[in-house]
Amino acid sequence: MQRTLSAILTVVRRFFDVVIILLFSYMAIAVVAQVIGRYVFNYSIAWATETATYAQIWMVLVGAGYAMRRDMHVSIDLVLPLLPRIVRQLVTLLITAMALWFLWVVFQGSFRLIKIGVIQKSPALQIPMLYPYLSLPVGAAYFAFELILHQWNRLKGTDDPDDITSREG
């Protein structure tokens, strides 16, 4: 069971790692192509800015989960280290619960946008806005997934972001 969970975790994380790399690469190429087209050939690529924007939206929302995995989110912890261990853990659990509640609100609310996005078209490409709007539930779900695993590892006292199971037994 532990090996299966670890294998699933590895596949999910590698998938999102590749997605982030591809989105960033595409975004950089599209922006460079747009700049070269505009200033060298005096031709603007109409769809480049739009698709680069959508790639950036996806990258940020999926990247938030990646940042959670690596504990790279900004936090102010002036008071937290001064608290007794049990109080620190309770405060951390409260913060995690509030973050999960927020992610749930985003996840739920995103489906209203998706319903609109099925009908609404993007300005340049005329594709359904469903595709950019799908980044909200996917990003929120991945962030929540990583947040739960991060909190689980904290409670276990493990710093390894890739560890979701006890290595014992």
Q: Is residue 163 part of a domain?
A: no
Q: Is residue 164 part of a domain?
A: no
pLDDT in tens, the chain (169 residues): 778 888 988 999 999 999 999 999 999 999 999 999 999 998 988 889 999 999 999 999 999 999 999 988 888 788 888 999 899 889 999 999 999 999 999 999 999 999 999 999 999 899 999 999 999 999 999 999 999 999 988 888 776 666 555 444 3
For the chain, the DSSP string reads -HHHHHHHHHHHHHHHHHHHHHHHHHHHHHHHHHHHHHHTSS---HHHHHHHHHHHHHHHHHHHHHHHHTT-S----SSGGGS-HHHHHHHHHHHHHHHHHHHHHHHHHHHHHHHHHHH-B-TTT--BTHHHHTHHHHHHHHHHHHHHHHHHHHHHT---TT--S----
Structural domain boundaries enclosing 70: 2-156
Q: Is residue 166 part of a domain?
A: no
Q: Is residue 151 part of a domain?
A: yes
Q: What is the pLDDT of residue 138?
A: 97
Q: Is residue 162 part of a domain?
A: no
The count of structural domains within the chain is: 1
Q: Is residue 167 part of a domain?
A: no
Q: Is residue 93 part of a domain?
A: yes
